[in-house]
């Protein structure tokens, strides 16, 4: 093994270990509050993403909203408690760039959706009034869609505890 | 393809396939770095043992290997740092938080690819490079003749076998879902009319490949056979395939947009006329009396197929299509046509074929407005992009009040959704 090979392997190892150390380290707490989430929508909650049923379909031709299940941890504005079904528009995209002519103004700083994450959400209660795209609701049979309200996520910020 | 573009592409290909290495990597030559092929053709004298360090053969291998390893080395840490800044933890740690099942691993791999900073940075340029070299528009789009572009899934639906699903085949059984919906509506004394919107490749196969004839019923054989099965099941339909084939023989204006999956204003006008003729002939609803007016409006549109190529460099090569639309207006108020949710006897369900020109620019110039004009009365509608197979009926289930007073539901969906419909073909229960 030449000295250059050893140098390269050591460099790769150093970067890898450094990244893992930095990645595993404690992140700065963030309650997700900002002027947008505090003013958009009629409801504002901090909620834990407890379930994403199925996989997000590709968004190559059609953008869609995907309904996910949240558990409310704290209500900041409006009325919402317990389990909420929330439609996130075009969930394969970062919230900051997901908005288009069919979604209206949406946003936030969440870049991807993972079960277990906590989000600060600005919501509207009736998704059909806000979302012009298809709405994929995997809970349709389970939760009787005509009874369970589907919320529309207007703003979605990450919360780091 | 115009002469300028052909010349540009030829010169682009020449540069990469015919140019000498010195033209592409002059700086490497200047550094004494040999080109791999050239080095093999003119090998330096082979020294005994490990060779001479810094020879013309060994240096480029080291150089390329070093570049390769550096790229690999920086990708992960940079991505981890970016993830840390945006999400609080690196995405790669998701691997540790899930069971290593096949589904989870595939999802994890796909998410890594989608969110990689390097892929985001390089993808548009690479996509353009592939297009310039071989007119490859990527996984989602196909380049046809005369700058016509096609949605790959639409072409694949025509070319691949489709066994029409097995009856009772769960969400893969469109016939079962349609018959179930028809029967559900019949219990409320509401008729159902099914309209399959032909895919662009079915009507313009000759624009996809020079080897295909202009009109050939075998091209849309899947849809043709499915229409026959609907007829056997006594489900009323409108055959737009035959209507469009006749229109093409008459050399009428193009029925589809060149770089979009959807129909042109002429295509939707023909469709609306054919549907209205069937509705009036069957006497499902009372005749209307409103005489809507038409207002010419021109819009420009960047095709959705072009956007699928996912490269601004490719998009910039094509000018937006200029489209002459006919906006439907209320003669009493002069305002653009607007649906009425509850009063009218017709509810229209469908996908983006109903959205284009209707809620998209210029507005009130789409299928729905033109159908209302032909029927001389407003209609109600639910439109779900890509969701006509199941999602649009789920939305109807959330708003069953839209069925009050209805005599007819017109259900439009695009041909390829017979196989590729989002969420398949579920049977949907309608509330009271």
**pLDDT tens per residue, range B217-237:** 889 999 999 999 999 999 999
Partners of A69 in the beta sheet? A51, A85
* Residue B156: predicted pLDDT: 93
A1 touches chain B (CB under 8 A): no
What burial letters (b/e) apply to B225-262, b meaning 16+ CB within 10 Å?
ebbeebeeeebbbbbbbebbbebeeeeeebbbbbbbbb
Gap from B430 CA to chain A (nearest CA, Å): 8
Residues of chain A scoring pLDDT < 50: 143, 145
User: Which of A13-17, B26-30, B50-54 is the most confident on average?
Assistant: A13-17
pLDDT 10s digits, A12-38 = 666 656 555 555 555 678 899 999 999
Q: For chain A, which residues make up each domain, given as ranges? A: 35-159
Q: How far apart are the first and last CA of chain B?
A: 56
Q: Lowest-confidence range among B16-20, B89-93, B373-377?
A: B16-20
A29 touches chain B (CB under 8 A): no
Gap from A145 CA to chain B (nearest CA, Å): 6
ipTM over 0.90: no
pLDDT 10s digits, B383-424 = 998 899 999 999 999 989 999 999 999 999 999 999 989 889
* Residue B75: predicted pLDDT: 85
For an interface test with A, which of B391, B392, B402 has the most A Cβ atoms less than 10 Å from its Cβ? Answer: B391
* Residue B169: predicted pLDDT: 60
Residue of A nearest to B94 (CA): A114
Count CB atoms within 10 A of the CB of residue A86: 23
Count of CB pairs separated by less than 8 Å, A with B? 120
Mean pLDDT along residues B19-31: 39
pLDDT 10s digits, B337-391 = 999 977 789 999 999 999 999 999 999 999 999 999 999 999 999 999 889 999 9
Residue B191: pLDDT band (50, 70, 90) is very high
Mean pLDDT along residues B86-101: 78
Of B62, B72, B77, the CB nearest to A19: B77
Contacts of A135 in chain B (CB under 8 A): 384, 387, 391, 394-395
> Residue B384 and residue A133: Cβ atoms within 8 Å?
yes
How far apart (Å, rounded) are the C-alpha atoms in residues B122 and B99?
32
* pTM recorded for the entire structure: 0.81
pLDDT exceeds 90 at position B291: yes
Of B66, B140, B360, the CB nearest to A60: B140
pLDDT exceeds 60 at position B45: no
pLDDT exceeds 70 at position B55: no
Higher pLDDT, A54 or B50: A54
> Residue B66 and residue A55: Cβ atoms within 8 Å?
no
Contacts of B76 in chain A (CB under 8 A): 15-16, 19
Residue that is written with structure tokens 């369900």 in the block: B349
Alpha carbon of residue B145 to chain centroid: 18
Residue of B nearest to A117 (CA): B87
* Residue B39: predicted pLDDT: 42
Higher pLDDT, B114 or B11: B114
A97 touches chain B (CB under 8 A): no
How far apart (Å, rounded) are the C-alpha atoms in residues B273 and A37?
47
Contacts of B69 in chain A (CB under 8 A): 8, 12
pLDDT exceeds 90 at position B210: no
* CB of A121 closer than 8 Å to CB of A44: yes
- The architecture (CATH level 2) of A35-159 comes to Beta Barrel (2.40)
* Residue B106: predicted pLDDT: 78
Pairing between strand A64-77 and B191-197? unpaired
A74 touches chain B (CB under 8 A): no
């Amino acid at each position: 093994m030449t000295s250059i090979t050893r140098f390269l392997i050591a460099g790769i190892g150093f970067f890898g270990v450094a990244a893992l150390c930095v990645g595993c380290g404690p992140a700065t707490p963030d309650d997700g509050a900002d002027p947008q989430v505090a003013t958009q929508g009629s409801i504002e909650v901090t909620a834990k993403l407890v379930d994403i049923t199925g996989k997000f379909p590709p968004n190559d031709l059609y953008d869609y909203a995907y309904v996910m299940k949240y558990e409310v941890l704290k209500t900041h504005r409006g009325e919402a408690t317990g389990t909420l079904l929330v439609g996130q528009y075009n969930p394969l995209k970062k919230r900051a760039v997901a908005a288009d002519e069919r979604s209206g103004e949406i946003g936030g700083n969440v870049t991807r959706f993972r079960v277990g994450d906590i989000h600060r959400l600005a919501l509207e209660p009736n998704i059909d009034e806000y979302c012009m795209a298809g709405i994929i609701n995997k809970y349709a049979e389970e939760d009787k869609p005509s009874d369970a309200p589907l919320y529309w996520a207007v703003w979605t910020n990450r919360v780091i505890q | 393809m115009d002469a300028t573009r052909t010349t540009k592409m030829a010169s682009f290909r020449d540069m990469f396939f015919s140019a000498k290495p010195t033209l592409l990597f002059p700086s490497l030559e200047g550094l004494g770095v040999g080109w791999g092929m050239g080095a093999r053709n003119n090998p330096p004298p082979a020294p005994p043992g490990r060779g001479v360090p810094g020879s013309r053969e060994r240096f480029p291998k080291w150089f390329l290997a070093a570049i390769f390893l550096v790229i690999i080395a920086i990708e992960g840490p940079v991505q981890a740092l970016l993830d840390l800044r945006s999400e609080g933890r690196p995405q790669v740690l998701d691997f540790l938080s899930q069971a290593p099942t096949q589904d989870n691993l595939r999802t994890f791999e796909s998410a890594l690819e989608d969110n990689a900073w390097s892929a985001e940075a390089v993808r548009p340029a690479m996509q353009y490079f592939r297009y310039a070299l071989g007119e490859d528009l990527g996984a989602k789009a196909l380049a046809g003749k005369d700058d016509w572009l096609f949605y790959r899934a639409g072409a694949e639906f025509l070319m691949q076998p489709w066994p029409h699903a097995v009856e009772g085949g769960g969400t893969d059984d469109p016939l079962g879902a349609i018959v179930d919906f028809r029967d559900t509506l019949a219990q409320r004394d509401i008729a159902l009319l099914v309209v399959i919107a032909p895919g662009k490749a079915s009507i313009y196969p000759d624009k996809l490949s020079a080897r295909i004839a202009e009109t050939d019923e075998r091209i849309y054989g899947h849809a043709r056979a499915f229409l026959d099965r609907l007829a056997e099941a006594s489900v009323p339909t409108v055959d737009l395939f035959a209507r469009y084939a006749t229109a093409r023989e008459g050399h009428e204006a193009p029925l589809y947009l060149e770089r979009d999956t959807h129909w042109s204003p002429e295509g939707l006008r023909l469709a609306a006329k054919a549907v209205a003729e069937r509705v009036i002939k069957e006497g499902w609803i009372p005749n209307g009396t409103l005489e809507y007016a038409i207002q010419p409006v021109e819009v420009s549109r960047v095709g959705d197929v072009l956007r699928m190529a996912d490269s601004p460099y490719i998009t910039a090569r094509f000018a937006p299509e200029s489209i002459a639309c006919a906006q439907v207006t209320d003669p009493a108020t002069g305002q653009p046509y607007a649906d009425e949710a509850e009063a009218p006897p017709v509810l229209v369900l469908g996908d983006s074929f109903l959205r284009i020109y209707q809620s998209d620019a210029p507005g009130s110039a789409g299928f729905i407005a033109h159908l209302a004009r032909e029927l001389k009365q407003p209609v109600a509608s639910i439109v779900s992009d890509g969701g006509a197979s199941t999602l649009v009926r789920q939305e109807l289930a959330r708003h069953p009040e839209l069925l009050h007073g209805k005599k007819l539901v017109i259900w439009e969906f695009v041909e390829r959704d017979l196989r590729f419909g989002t969420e398949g073909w579920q049977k949907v229960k309608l509330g009271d």
